[in-house]
Amino acid sequence: MPPRRSVAFPNPHDSGSITPPGYAPAPHLASARMRSQSVSVQRQIDPASIASNIRTQEIAIPGDMVGCIIGKGGSRITEIRRLSGSRISIAKASESEGGERLFTITGTPECNEKALYLLYGQLEAERERRIANAHLMASLESINEHVIAEE
């Protein structure tokens, strides 16, 4: 790989600099030195800064909806964890919580927001599926009553 070069642009306010015709710097840039550099930068991640940005949130999910979040063999919750980057733990079932299960989400605010989006999306999809099934059952019962009445 060829070495990268720095290119410095002259300040139009320095004596002897070349100023393009009609150039007038914006007032807030008048005293700024303009310089462009192409530099290869390796970002080092400071574990302390990551740890200081970790948040924990808890949400209660109705017990009858927990299965749709976990999925068969844990496949859905695994996918939500993978996509969001958050750590999601699910409390054991407890009778004292009114049939709800506590989900603890730990990660950066962005990861947690994505996890919540995915969790609530899964809950909404399940709610819609249940409503559609209820409508289908009502239609089938109506058809069944109509057939029985004709006999």
pLDDT at 140: 86
For residue 28, is it within any domain? no
For residue 48, is it within any domain? no
Contact partners, residue 119, CB within 8 Å, separation at least 6: 59, 61, 69, 80, 88, 103
Contact partners, residue 97, CB within 8 Å, separation at least 6: 60
For residue 115, is it within any domain? yes
Give the mean model confidence (pLDDT) for residues 105-133: 95
For residue 102, is it within any domain? yes
Q: Whole domain around residue 71: which residue ranges? A: 55-150
For residue 6, is it within any domain? no
Does the structure show a pLDDT above 80 at 137?
yes
Domain count, the chain: 1
135: number of Cβ within 10 Å? 10
For residue 35, is it within any domain? no
pLDDT band at 92 (very low <50, low <70, confident <90, very high): confident
State if pTM tops 0.75: no
Percent of the residues in the chain that have a pLDDT greater than 70, as a whole number: 63
- Decide: 66 and 94 in contact? Cβ < 8 Å: no
For residue 135, is it within any domain? yes
- Decide: 79 and 68 in contact? Cβ < 8 Å: no
For residue 86, is it within any domain? yes
| pLDDT single digits (tens) 12-57 | 444 443 444 444 444 433 333 333 333 344 556 566 666 678 999 9
User: Residue 104: which CATH number?
Assistant: 3.30.1370.10
